[in-house]
């Protein structure tokens, strides 16, 4: 089932994050698709807040992965694969270990590691239409 959410203000992303976390509560892998500046990192910040993260959440553009802890001590791995030049670079940082860790994995630019993505994943597509963010969420099996 596909869920679509529209928001015209950044503050409304917390509602989208709440829907995502609650509706897909048994899922740990989330792939965020969208153009540069569409709000992928901002939505991930809202998701982390919904999960009780107290750390500063920002894009791991240069380090490829940031680690946060939820309110109950579970780990969240936040990836940004934008600057990846090859799948080998992802393998070098141990992306497969992260994906197999049973921790939350929130991935920006997942198309750069498409061959490594888990079989079951929640795809989150963000588009901007007439200054409104349209967020589509869907559980898929690759």
Distances (CA, A) of 36 to 14, 19, 78, 79, 82: 20, 23, 17, 15, 10
d(CA 101, CA 127): 30
Angle at 30 between CA 132 and CA 96, to 5 degrees: 145
CATH class for the region spanning 2-141: alpha beta
Query: What confidence tens digit (pLDDT) does each residue in 10-41 have?
Result: 888 899 999 999 999 999 999 999 999 899 99
Residue keyed to tokens 């920002």: 58
φ, ψ (nearest 5 deg) of residue 95? -55, -35
- Please tell me the predicted confidence (pLDDT) of residue 81: 95
Query: What confidence tens digit (pLDDT) does each residue in 56-69 have?
Result: 888 887 778 999 99
d(CA 26, CA 131): 32
d(CA 113, CA 115): 6
pTM for this one? Answer: 0.94
d(CA 61, CA 108): 9
């Amino acid at each position: 089932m596909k869920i679509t959410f529209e928001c015209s203000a950044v503050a409304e992303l917390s509602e989208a994050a709440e829907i995502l976390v609650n509706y897909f509560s048994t899922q740990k892998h989330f792939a965020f698709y969208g153009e540069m500046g569409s709000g992928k990192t901002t939505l991930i910040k809202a998701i982390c807040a919904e999960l009780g993260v107290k750390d500063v959440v920002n894009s791991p553009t240069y380090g490829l992965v940031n680690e946060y802890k939820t309110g109950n001590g579970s780990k969240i791995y936040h990836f940004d694969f934008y600057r990846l030049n090859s799948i080998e670079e992802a393998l070098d940082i141990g992306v497969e270990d992260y994906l197999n860790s049973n921790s939350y994995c929130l991935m920006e630019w997942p198309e750069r590691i498409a061959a490594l993505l888990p079989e079951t994943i929640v795809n989150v597509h963000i588009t901007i239409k007439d200054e409104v963010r349209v967020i589509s969420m869907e559980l898929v099996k690759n």
